[in-house]
Copies of this chain bind each other. A is one copy, B any other.
């Protein structure tokens, strides 16, 4: 027993005492701000010390912890429609399935929510939770990124994995707050990020309890219960956590993370000497076409919010020494 406890302690101690916690981050203002924030908030006696129970950090998923070009859940939906069309060729001529199979984005954009719901109903609803999870597992077992050529499970951003480890070693509780389906992300969150399912907050379908001969199951209905995006992210974080995060990370694309970063912002301004409470916000900017993708935002709202609030903009090109895990590790994702 003692030996077991000691070995557990040694592992934890090793993580805490790691000498270079953010090796895949280039030295610069963002890395320094992260190290400084964590040091200030976890050092007893510091004015900015945050008790362990309040060290809540929330991370967006697509574009923040792994790529969103394309959205991985959309690739999954596409794969499920293809599988259905193989079994039932008539689907190839029926919208919105035809559009998905032919990559007709124009049709899908114009068809809007009813088309999306039909796709969700076919691929993600009208089945039990257990059946859905099995489909998602099957997808991740073999699916590869269409442009990067790597398994999706190898695409977690290495600097962000280091950041999660660093925060965990300092007793932060990490929550993922994703616009994607919570049930989709929960299948891989522990394996990829060390984040257990109970710390994943996301969009969700309505479900109902059904009594079957072997016991009860949860049945996935073809109707949306929660869309976790923009102003609803803080509301859903509150519903789930009941505490306000002291750190949040999101990315530039649709403005989807602005409200979550605002919610975590206590107005910490080390440069002005006015410090209501310490907090840290990261807004990742995808500006590296060579190593990942480069894209902006039509209205520039996310970068404008970052400027207005003094949030840290993470430039993938400038701030990340590496984007993905080393090649040797990519065959064996974390």
Q: What is A's interface to B at a CB cutoff of 8 Å? A: 1-2, 5-6, 8-9, 12-13, 17, 53, 56, 129, 173, 182-183, 186, 190, 196-198, 200, 204, 207-209, 211, 214-216, 218, 225-226, 231, 234-235, 238-243, 259, 262-263, 265-267
Contact = CB atoms under 8 A, between A and B. Distances in A.
B1 A5 contact: no
A157 to B, nearest CB: 23
A242 B1 contact: no
B197 A242 contact: yes
Contact of A215 (B231, B243, B262): B262
Contacts of A12: 5
A13 to B, nearest CB: 6
Identical chains bound together, number: 2
Contact of A209 (B5, B182, B200, B234): B234
Give the top 3 A-B pairs by smallest Cβ distance, nearest first: A197-B242, A5-B9, A186-B242
Contacts of A267: 214-215
Contact of A240 (B13, B196, B198, B231): B198
A235 B208 contact: yes
A259 B209 contact: yes
A276 to B, nearest CB: 8
A13 B214 CA distance: 39
A207 B244 CA distance: 14
Contact of A238 (B1, B5, B218): B218
B207 A243 contact: no
A36 B207 CA distance: 34
A263 B208 CA distance: 12
B129 A197 contact: no
Given A1-B13, A9-B6, A262-B215, A242 B200 contact: yes
Nearest to A226: B239
A263 B209 contact: yes
A53 to B, nearest CB: 6
Contacts of A265: 215-216
B209 A235 contact: yes
Nearest to A13: B5
> Could you say which of A207, A239, A265 has the most chain B C-beta atoms within 10 Å of its C-beta?
A239
A197 B240 CA distance: 9
Contact of A198 (B173, B190, B214, B216): B173
Given A259-B209, A262-B216, A182 B243 contact: no
A18 to B, nearest CB: 13
Given A5-B13, A13-B1, A267-B215, A240 B240 contact: yes
A186 B239 CA distance: 11
A306 to B, nearest CB: 15
A6 to B, nearest CB: 7
17 contacts: A1-B13, A182-B239, A186-B242, A197-B241, A197-B242, A198-B240, A198-B241, A198-B242, A207-B235, A208-B231, A209-B231, A214-B267, A215-B265, A215-B266, A216-B262, A216-B265, A218-B238
> Could you say which of A8, A198, A266 has the most chain B C-beta atoms within 10 Å of its C-beta?
A198
A259 B215 CA distance: 11
